[in-house]
Amino acid sequence: MSSPPAQLPDTAPPVIRNDEEDGPRAHKLRQVFDAALTACLKACSYERLAQAFPRIARDNPEALRSARDQLVAFIREAIKEEFEDINADRDVIPSLNQIDRIIAAAHLKLKEDFKAGRNNGTQTKAAGTAQQECLHFRVTAEQAVTAHAVQAKRREAERLKAQLAEMQEANRVARSRIAADRAVAAEMQSEIQVLIADLLPSQTLLDSMLREATAATPLAG
């Protein structure tokens, strides 16, 4: 009789999960992954192992069954660990949760717009049916991304408007300062001209001095 196979570890090393809790899409991702993994592992059935190892199946079927169960458990845990590593490396869970938040915000915006009568520029019906009809809205991925982009663009536009206002105020202050400097320069120029005029003799005085000098000079004989 063949000896039983070597015992495989019961559990894989602990899986490190992202601290962020799973949202609806992350939870659905894990459900789909678990279902696909289970379907794949079903291929490793005891019947197929018995066909691959007929002697062990005949002489010690319990050992083969135990080995199969341990192998499947080990493969399952190893694949799950790899799955969690990929999620952590690529920030899958936070990204899916962000999509959940974007779509939830888009749903809320649609409901608010409908209640306020701003949905496609039409008026809402009776207030009692508005909220109920809002529940029939379905937001597509494109609409959700567009709504998120619109909000981001609005915030960017507000930031640019604030920067433009600051620049315009700075330009206004600069123009005022330049005008004040020009006024001071013009005043100083006027004062300098007055000082020069005071320092230099007048034209009348120069003409008088020239006549006196000419009269005092003897004529050549």
Q: What is the pLDDT of residue 166?
A: 92
Distances (CA, A) of 209 to 53, 58, 104, 199: 139, 147, 100, 17
- Alpha-carbon 66 to chain mean position: 51
Q: What is the pTM of this model?
A: 0.45
pLDDT tier, 76 (very low <50, low <70, confident <90, very high otherwise): very high
CA atoms of 153 and 145, how far apart (whole Å): 12
Chain segment 150-188, per-residue pLDDT in tens:
777 888 889 999 999 999 999 999 999 999 999 988 888
Chain segment 94-151, per-residue pLDDT in tens:
999 988 888 888 778 777 877 776 555 555 444 444 444 444 456 666 666 676 677 7
Chain segment 199-217, per-residue pLDDT in tens:
666 666 667 777 777 776 6
Q: Spell out the domain ranges in the chain.
A: 1-90, 157-200
